[in-house]
Structure 1
């Protein structure tokens, strides 16, 4: 199992970073895990801005040489793990910018004249690990599950990835937020998964 972890948080003292460490620890102890690559978008100084002009055309995004190393990571990975906080009911702008730039037509999907395009990233699986200050049921009741709809339907299923698992942890700034139990849950999950 080849795993790409895409980490999106500017602070390495954060709970998100602790989730990253437990994910790595679990994969290191998992006999099914062969290789792990980590992309820390802030550490990498990834530029999330889309630029379209005479030199950079939208139709050429899938062959933009600046993004080639990132495309190769996505093609290499069998499992993609996104780790990020929920800010304003959605992932950080940095991660959304990565998605905007990388999941381009003719790389992640191909228009085919039908209602939905042909997904070109079939066979992969995704795990989303997110945390937020608000209560765990806030996104479900107040935002109509917008975060999960965005990540699962609008992104993953659109590009052919149907196996998507969520760990969405709420109340993470409370003293009794059970942070240790949740970190241990992530560790145990990645220690035991086989695909």
Structure 2
């Protein structure tokens, strides 16, 4: 199994970075994982800005040579791990900019002429590891589960990825946030995860 980790946080002293370390350490103990690649979007200085004009068209985004390296990573991966904070009820703009460009028509899905597309990334699995200041129940009760709906239905299901798991951790700026327990859960998950 090949694992691609997409890390999205500007601060390497953050709790998100602590989750990243647990992902990497847990992966080393997993005999199912053949190889792992890390994409740190801020360190990479990934440009999340979409630019289209008369010469650069949106319908051609799936073959933009500047994004070929990132497309190859997604094709290579069997399991994709997203690590990011929840800001204003959704992932950071940096990650959304990556999604806008990478999960493009012609690469991640194809138009079928019907109501639903043909997902081109079938057979892969995803885990989203996110943290937020607010309580864990906040997205469900106050935002109608918007974060999970966005990621699972509007993105992953659309491109053919059906196996999606969430670690959505709340109260992470509180001394009662049980940080070590939550870090341990992520470590154990990566230690035993399979794509089956």
Deviations 1:157-194 (A, max 9, x none): 00000000000000000001000000011001110112
Unaligned regions of 5+ residues in structure 1, if any?
A: none
TM-score by length of 1: 0.99
Cα RMSD (Å): 0.5
Deviations 1:113-136 (A, max 9, x none): 111100000000000000000000
1:1-195 correspondence to structure 2 within 5 Å? 1-195=1-195
Aligned length: 195
Return the offset for 1:54.
Answer: 1.8
Return the offset for 1:149.
Answer: 0.2
* C-alpha separation in 2, matches of 1:121 and 1:29: 27
Unaligned regions of 5+ residues in structure 2, if any?
A: none
Return the offset for 1:66.
Answer: 0.3
Deviations 1:13-71 (A, max 9, x none): 00000000000000011111100000000000000000101221111000000000000
* C-alpha separation in 1, matches of 2:5 and 2:56: 28
TM-score by length of 2: 0.99
Secondary structure at the aligned position of 2:44 is classed as coil
Deviations 1:97-154 (A, max 9, x none): 0000110001000000111100000000000000000000000000000000000000
